[in-house]
Each structure stands twice: as C-alpha cells, then as structure tokens.
C-alpha cells in the first residue's frame, strides 16, 4: 500500500463504495437522535415532496470520513472536513467516494473530495485537510 507521503498534487484518492440500507439509516437515527420522519417514514417523505425516505446527510459525510480514514490509516489525521450536500441519498443508491490532492505542504495535504450516486450525480462535495504524522 502506498505511503501517504508519496501522494502528489492532482493524484487521485482511493475509491470507496457504499450502498445505504434501511438498517444503517435506522441505526444512525438512533445513534444521532435524529428521528426526523423524512429518514424513517416513506409515506411522510413522499407527502413533503422528497419522493421517499432519504439518508441523513451526516451519515453520508461519515462514510466520506471513513474513506479518508482508511486511506490515511495511522499516517495522519483529518484536521478539517468541509462538505456541502448537493443531492439527497436514498436507500439502495450506490455511492462512490473519491477525490484528489489539491495541494500539499510539509505536513498538510489538502484534498478535493466528492461522492457521486449511480446516476453520476454529485451528492456531496468538499475539501479535506489531512495532517501527516
């Protein structure tokens, strides 16, 4: 596996795929205390115009953080994670997480990050700052 210090500007980050399911969404609701019915009640989510239940945005962000953590392993840590939620994520969507190196200094790597669904729509985008140990 390639060491963090060997990644260069414009280089792509490893890809991580995730397919949210009902159990994960319900477990996240319990862990976070966010029981908004748009995440748990399909009929309610349809009534408010969402076309069905959606996953918590923070659950999607957590999956992005997991991708970054798997990539940096024990060689670094995430010191800043700025994201914007662009599209909703639904149970059963295939979400692909990735990114590229935007800049780096002696001990900081700045990455452009994004997650796309199986329709190739961006669902989450942002910037991560990684500090090398």
Q: How confident is the model at residue 89 (pLDDT cuts 50, 70, 90)?
A: very high
In a domain, 77, yes or no: yes
Is there a contact between 45 and 90 (Cβ–Cβ < 8 Å)? no
List, for residues 30-85, the tens digit of each pLDDT value.
999 999 999 999 999 999 999 999 999 999 999 999 999 999 999 999 999 999 99
Is there a contact between 56 and 39 (Cβ–Cβ < 8 Å)? yes
Q: What is the pLDDT of residue 20?
A: 98
- CATH number for the domain that contains residue 11: 3.10.129.10
Q: Average pLDDT in the 113-117 region?
A: 98
Task: Of 109, 107, 112, give the one whose Cα is nearest residue 97.
Answer: 112
**C-alpha–C-alpha distance, residues 123 and 78, integer Å:** 21
Number of domains in the chain: 1
Domain that holds residue 113: 4-20+55-132
Whole-prediction pTM: 0.94
**C-alpha–C-alpha distance, residues 4 and 7, integer Å:** 6
């Amino acid at each position: 596996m390639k060491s963090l210090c060997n990644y260069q500007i414009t280089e792509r980050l490893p890809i991580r795929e995730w397919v949210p399911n009902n159990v994960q969404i319900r477990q996240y609701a319990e862990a976070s205390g966010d029981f908004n019915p748009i995440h748990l009640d399909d009929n309610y989510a349809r009534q408010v115009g969402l076309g069905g239940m959606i996953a918590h945005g923070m659950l999607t962000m957590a999956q992005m953080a997991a991708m970054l953590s798997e990539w940096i392993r024990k060689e670094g840590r995430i010191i800043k994670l700025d994201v914007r939620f662009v599209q909703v994520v639904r149970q059963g969507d295939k979400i692909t997480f990735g990114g590229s190196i935007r800049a780096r200094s002696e001990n900081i790597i700045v990455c452009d990050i994004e997650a796309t669904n199986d329709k190739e729509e961006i669902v989450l985008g942002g910037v991560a700052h990684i500090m090398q140990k």
